[in-house]
């Protein structure tokens, strides 16, 4: 991935809303925030577009660092800084994002810059910083910047940057390829050998208050920049917290910082300081090249192997201890098993004897079973014969049942006829009573006697029927 791609990717991952208000400082010829993509973006510089083109047509900075810029690629600047950012944009709505790529190192008063820029940012607004790591650019041999120097400039004025000017012009080199520094070879060949005459002249110019073109006042490493931020927040000088930090990657020369405008940190800075402490502790110190990375990887791998071996050794010790206990338990169990085996042998002998006795009993049972089989066969024959007789008796019982039913039917018929005769007799008796009470009764005495005889006959028959 190219330098441009790294910068664009970093900013695009932060700025999701294309309608946000964005200010890019010092875009020069490589703006990250393209106006064709972000319609509410503005460019600001300390010089007008014409002044920038004139400056980069040729100056001491370009000669010193070996940097070359096509002036036709320089973008148009929307606003020229007027004293301060707050003064320049006092009439405008505040910004959601501010982007500064390879800019802050040129600020004479870097602490003052953070205070100034916070005044044009919305609460929660983000400052996207892309910063050159001194170890992998023309600042390689320079002394690292510090909070001490930055605070001195902040409190005593910009003429205090003269020593940084001296360091820049005396120790910067004409080599800006990060891969060269990452390889870490032939570095001695580019150590500055030139005399100090011009550097002293520039130092004196700075002491007199003159601002020299494009000086790197603040050569930081990724780690020393974090230390600088840590002390600024510790001193409650800047209203920012760090939401993202990407250290310098191999074969590149820049690190990335995302800061959030948050004035609450000016009151309670401890949570932010603890977060920065962890970040600082995670970054290697001093010069770090590709060979160091390979060595660190090898050492890390060896340390991991050692750690794994130690862990395995501890596991083996634990396993041996566990196996020793298991062996002891097994030996005890073996003794118990031998004892149990002897008991089982004795029990087996007893069982053999018992088995012989059971075998004899079994033979006797077999003989008894044979006898029972013969008896069972005889019983089956008897049952068969009884079944045949039972069937015959069932047939006779069925026939008797039918005859009994016929007798019952005949009895019912006789009873019905007898009831009819009784009804007729009642009628006749009623008639006789009428006759008996009539005047002719005496005249019919003979007939009456005959009827009495008939009544006696019927009464006898009725009694006979009742008892049957």
The domain locations on the chain are 3-288, 299-467
Which residue, chain included where needed, has tokens 């083996």? 316
Partnered with residue 260 across adjacent β-strands are 126, 241
For the chain, count helices (H), then strands (E).
13, 7
Enter the tokens of residue 380: 């089956």
The residue ranking higher by pLDDT, 283 or 151, is: 151
How would you list the strands of the sheet with 240-246, edge to edge?
A: 79-80, 41-45, 22-25, 95-101, 121-132, 254-261, 240-246
Amino acid 146: pLDDT: 95
What number does CATH give the domain 3-288? 3.40.50.150
Enter the tokens of residue 96: 């959601």
pLDDT tens across 305-315, in order?
877 778 888 88
On the question of pLDDT at 3 being above 50, the answer is: no
Asked which of 125-129, 227-231, 440-444, 446-450 is least confident by mean pLDDT, the reply is 440-444
pLDDT tens across 43-66, in order?
999 999 999 999 888 766 666 666
**C-beta separation of 12 from 31 below 8 A:** no
Amino acid 56: pLDDT: 85
User: What is the rounded radius of gyration, in angstroms, for the C-alpha atoms of the chain?
Assistant: 64
Enter the tokens of residue 15: 């700025």
134, 139, 144, 148: CA torsion to nearest 10? -110
Asked which of 57-66, 263-272, 275-284 is least confident by mean pLDDT, the reply is 57-66
pLDDT tens across 396-445, in order?
888 888 888 898 898 888 888 888 888 888 887 887 777 767 776 667 67
Count of Cβ atoms closer than 10 Å to residue 254 Cβ = 22
CA distance 172 to 80: 28
CA distance 68 to 50: 17
What average pLDDT does range 18-34 have in this prediction? 96
Which residue, chain included where needed, has tokens 């062996």? 327
């Amino acid at each position: 991935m190219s330098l441009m791609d790294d910068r664009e990717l970093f900013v695009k991952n932060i700025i999701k809303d294309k309608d946000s208000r964005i200010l890019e400082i010092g875009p020069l010829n490589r703006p990250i925030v393209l106006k064709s993509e972000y319609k509410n973006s503005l460019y600001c510089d300390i010089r007008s577009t014409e002044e920038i083109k004139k400056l980069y047509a040729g100056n001491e900075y370009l000669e010193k660092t070996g940097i070359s810029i096509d002036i036709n690629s320089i973008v148009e600047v929307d606003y020229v800084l007027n004293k301060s950012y707050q003064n320049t944009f006092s009439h405008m709505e505040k910004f959601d994002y501010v982007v500064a790529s390879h800019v802050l190192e040129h600020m004479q008063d870097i602490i003052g810059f953070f205070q100034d820029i916070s005044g044009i940012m919305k609460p929660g607004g983000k400052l996207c910083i892309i910063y050159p790591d001194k170890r992998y650019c023309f600042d390689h041999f320079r002394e690292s910047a510090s909070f001490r120097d930055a605070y001195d400039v902040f409190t005593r004025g910009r003429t205090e940057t003269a020593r940084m000017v001296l360091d820049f012009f005396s120790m910067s080199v004409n080599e800006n390829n990060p891969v060269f520094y990452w390889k870490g070879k032939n570095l001695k060949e580019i150590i500055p050998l030139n005399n100090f005459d011009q550097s002293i002249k520039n130092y004196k110019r700075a002491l007199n208050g003159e601002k020299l073109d494009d000086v790197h006042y603040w050569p930081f490493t990724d780690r020393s920049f974090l230390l600088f931020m840590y002390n600024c927040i510790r001193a409650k000088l800047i209203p920012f917290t760090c939401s993202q930090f990407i250290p310098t990657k191999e074969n590149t020369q820049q690190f990335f910082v995302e800061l959030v405008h948050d004035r609450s940190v000016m009151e309670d800075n401890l949570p932010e300081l603890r977060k920065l402490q962890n970040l600082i502790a995670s970054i290697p110190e001093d010069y770090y090249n590709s060979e160091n990375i390979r060595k660190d990887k090898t050492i890390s791998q060896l340390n991991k192997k050692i750690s794994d071996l130690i862990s395995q050794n501890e596991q083996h010790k634990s396993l041996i201890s566990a196996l020793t206990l298991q062996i002891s338990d097994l030996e005890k169990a073996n003794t118990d098993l031998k004892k149990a085996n002897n008991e089982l042998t004795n029990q087996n002998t007893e069982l053999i004897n018992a088995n012989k006795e059971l075998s004899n009993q079994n033979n006797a049972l077999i003989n008894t079973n044979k006898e029972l089989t013969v008896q069972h066969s005889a019983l089956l024959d008897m049952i068969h014969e009884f079944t045949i007789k039972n069937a015959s008796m069932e047939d006779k019982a069925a026939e008797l049942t039918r005859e009994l039913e016929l007798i019952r039917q005949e009895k019912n018929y006789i009873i019905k006829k007898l009831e009819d005769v009784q009804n007729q007799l009642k009628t006749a008796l009623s008639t006789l009573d009428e006759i008996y009470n009539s005047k002719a009764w005496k005249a019919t005495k003979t007939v009456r006697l005959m009827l009495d005889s008939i009544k006696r006959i019927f009464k006898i028959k009725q009694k006979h029927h009742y008892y049957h």
